[in-house]
Structure 1
Amino acid sequence: MEFLPLLSFLLLLVALVSVFLKKQKPQPAAGNHSSDEQIQLLPPGRTGLPLIGETLDYFSKLQNGVLWTFVAERMKKYSPKVFRTSLMGYPTAILCGPEGNRFVFSNEKKLVQVWLPSYFDKIFPKVDNTASGVASPNTEQTKLIRKHLPAVLKLENLIHYIGMMDTVMKQQLRTEWNREKIKLVPAISQFTLRLACRFFLGIEDPKKVEELAIPITDVDKGIMSIPINLPGTNFYRSIKASKVMRDKIQLTVRQAKIDLHEKRESERPSLLTHMLLTADENGQLFNELFITNHVYGMLVGGYGSVTSSLTFIMKYLSELPHVYDEVLKGKASYL
């Protein structure tokens, strides 16, 4: 019964917040819209509970692997094109279908601005490429990195990695997948991590790759979790795993700098090698911490998205044998 006073206090707090929010009136916009007109300009939908919004429903469906139902239910109830909600304390508009995707991807830097919730800074800390110690927003840092990625992503450079990808896959098939049954997600995760470590960091040693396997899994879970920084939560473990990963990557960056100085770089340069040799618009080389954080970010980003895509491809191929047969025919005709 000791929890009842605390529960009563929390319910009272929620009630007070609800009353407070109801009393707040929207302020007129610069375009001389009245409060009622501003409300009508918002997409249809609801923001759910005060502070919490619809976060609990969102993460419940995410954890059960049916996140699509969160969107489908609201598309049916409010609008098939766009609806509003509230997630993790932020008012959110979700654009749906091909038109919504087209709008987002065709209007970056125009009508759409890249933005990340503030709690992401705990997993992906801001680090500037200057000696001032003043960190610029992660979105600005990403723009800076993007300017220097095209060179390493040119077709003639990517061709050199096809053989490496084929070799890694054949090794996986012989050693890890040569059995009647495999657990698909761990198998795909291991394959993706090996490729990502080779492409981004130039790491080929399986032991070094394995050292990153547990922390990158914790980071990946924490990205899509409720941001409660308390021991035992996915978010808390994600922050700790982020520090572990960045420390290990920084050691790799430091060793790569030594190898470049002593002319011992790899025959197949990695993204890390390219960043160590590239200067920004002021002619200044990227510093060690800046490179560490951004290689870490790209490693995590590439790991999660590619793992999910490959897992779903294999899942659907197993469920659709006629498609699987056509893929095999296509492979045979190609060979």
Structure 2
Amino acid sequence: MDVHLNMSLLYILLSLSAVAYLVIHKFSNSSGRTRLPPGSFGWPIVGETLELQRLGRCGRSDEFPMQRMKKYNLEIFKTHLFGEKTITLCGATGNKFLFTGEKTYVLTWWPNSLKKLFGDSFFTAPYDEAVRTRKVVSSFLQQEVMNQLVERFDRTCKNCLQKDWSARNQVLAFALIKAYAFSVACDMFASMDDPDWQKTILDEFNILLKGVFQLPIYSPGTRHYKAVKSAAAIRQELIKLIQSRRRLQVDLDRRVERNLISHLIETKNENGELLSDKEIADNVILLMNAGHDTSSSTMTMMMKYLAESPDCYNKVFKDDISKMKYSWNVVSEVLRMSPPAQGTFRKAKVDFTFKGFSIPKGWTVWWTTSTTHKSEEYFPNPETFDPLRFSRDDITPYSFVPFGGGSRMCPGREFAKVEILVFLHNLVNMFKWELVFPNEVISVDPMPASSKGLPVYLYSHPNL
């Protein structure tokens, strides 16, 4: 009887999937004279999401858009990702169109899986509300403020390297880099240095990250379900902290060091409104997540590339600390080859055309970093690690886009720049290192990460 029941359920599921596929297929071809770009919607319901994720886990995420560009010989194709009919615009021309077309042709959009994680943050809020909140947040993250906080970055970095790195001959670099980055985020965004609190929140963030860019299936056991639960736990802890900090704000003798939470508590938006506790918590969740996960990925990949490029390491070691120009070229090349964000989404506000093809209102539009970062057209020998390419002035506009572009360019780019450069300077002045596994696979899920945690052999710098 159980066999018959299971077969019946399977039949019903397949029938529903077939009906869904027919509805999607009919809709995609019901636009009369509308000329949609070539492409495939993949499997019913899941589309091509699983294929994108599979390639990422194999370290070949670039292949998804690049293969389709080659197949159709176009810089545009259609697909179906994260439950949405999606048009992908490729190349610098596509990037420029989307970055300059904000609010005219497209609006920023994120999958429902992310909206449930980051709530009322400027990342997922409606356009006008997001712009107001973004200005409040960005005023803390601007270059002038970050430069004033360099000593705090440096103090945290030195403490982490001395405590967790200096007494060891071999380390798992990714885990220790992540611990450093999270300590920085806790300090700058919350002035919270309690190690037990940090560990509890970091454990929840690790679960949250695994639920980013997943199919929004809210069912016990799924990555999305676990991520939503972890986001709620983090939010609850932050709201308690925010309420405590509100009480401290009126007591000038007990104020903590400058941090994002205190800034958001007392700064009004352009409408003269203060953010609610939940709005502050959601924005802090977003920035703590981005402020340690994306930079952790970049710093880990930076260690990998420098271990493979001794000449580049030596140039970083000799770099002028007052300018760190070559060091930033190294970071830029890491961001080109292994950007932590593989691209972002927009939603078509109106019907419009691109390269002779129609993009219907309401469809999702996706741009990716790899269609320019890994293109011979924009970066000759794209698989070669060459920081000097960023010393030239011939980078095609809209081709180097690790922080996005337009009005929604990542507001934390100055924070990331200081955090990474401080780490790089201290690291090369204290250590040299070798990869334990030179051929370690780099997967993308959803950010570049070494499959074994990037174990390295550490050596005290000979000049010490």
Category of TM-score, reference length = shorter chain? 0.7 to 0.9
Q: Match for 1:169: what amino acid?
A: C
Structure 1 CA distance, aligned partners of 2:213 and 2:152? 31
User: Which runs of no fewer than 5 residues in structure 1 stay unpaired?
Assistant: 29-34, 129-135
Q: Which position in structure 2 is the counterpart of 1:265? A: 255
1:48 alignment partner, SS class: coil
Q: Which position in structure 1 is the counterpart of 2:286? A: 297
2:37 alignment partner, SS class: coil
8 Å CA contact 1:219–1:239 kept in 2: the answer is yes
Structure 2 CA distance, aligned partners of 1:297 and 1:114? 16
Higher RCO (CA 8 Å, separation ≥ 6 residues): 2
Write out per-residue CA displacement over residues 59-81 of structure 1, whole angstroms, 9 at most, x where no aligned residue: 21223332112122212212452
Structure 2 CA distance, aligned partners of 1:257 and 1:176? 34
Q: How does 1:60-79 map to 2 (within 5 A)?
A: 60-79=54-73
Write out per-residue CA displacement over residues 245-298 of structure 1, whole angstroms, 9 at most, x where no aligned residue: 0011111111211111111222x4111111111123343322222211222222
Structure 2 CA distance, aligned partners of 1:25 and 1:176? 55
**CA positional deviation for 1:218:** 0.9
Write out per-residue CA displacement over residues 141-187 of structure 1, whole angstroms, 9 at most, x where no aligned residue: 42121222343234332222111111111111111122222212211
2:106 alignment partner, SS class: coil
Q: Does 1:165 align with 2:165?
A: no
Please point out which of 109, 113, 127 is paired with 1:115.
Answer: 109
Q: Does 1:16 align with 2:19?
A: yes
Q: Which position in structure 2 is the counterpart of 1:186? A: 175
Structure 2 CA distance, aligned partners of 1:153 and 1:20? 46
**CA positional deviation for 1:239:** 0.7
Please point out which of 177, 196, 211 is paired with 2:185.
Answer: 196
Structure having the higher helix fraction is 1
1:119 alignment partner, SS class: helix
Q: Does 1:237 align with 2:226?
A: yes
Structure 2 CA distance, aligned partners of 1:108 and 1:17? 32
Q: Which moved more, 1:182-191 or 1:278-287?
A: 278-287
User: Structure 1 residues 226, 16: CA separation in 2 closer, same or farther (over 3 Å shift)?
Assistant: closer
8 Å CA contact 1:278–1:285 kept in 2: the answer is yes
Q: Which position in structure 1 is the counterpart of 2:403? A: none
User: Structure 1 residues 24, 269: CA separation in 2 closer, same or farther (over 3 Å shift)?
Assistant: closer
User: Structure 1 residues 108, 310: CA separation in 2 closer, same or farther (over 3 Å shift)?
Assistant: farther
Q: Does 1:91 align with 2:85?
A: yes
**CA positional deviation for 1:332:** 7.6
User: Structure 1 residues 296, 76: CA separation in 2 closer, same or farther (over 3 Å shift)?
Assistant: same
User: Which runs of no fewer than 5 residues in structure 2 stay unpaired?
Assistant: 325-424, 426-464
Q: Which position in structure 1 is the counterpart of 2:304? A: 315
**CA positional deviation for 1:100:** 3.0
Query: % of aligned pairs identical?
Result: 29
**CA positional deviation for 1:26:** 4.5
Structure 2 CA distance, aligned partners of 1:205 and 1:20? 54
8 Å CA contact 1:59–1:226 kept in 2: the answer is no
Aligned residues, how many? 318
User: Structure 1 residues 73, 305: CA separation in 2 closer, same or farther (over 3 Å shift)?
Assistant: same
Q: Which position in structure 1 is the counterpart of 2:140? A: 152
Please point out which of 26, 29, 44 is paired with 1:50.
Answer: 44
Write out per-residue CA displacement over residues 6-65 of structure 1, whole angstroms, 9 at most, x where no aligned residue: 32332232333344445557455xxxxxx1x31x2x222111122221111112122333
Structure 2 CA distance, aligned partners of 1:25 and 1:262? 61
Q: Does 1:214 align with 2:208?
A: no
8 Å CA contact 1:127–1:289 kept in 2: the answer is no
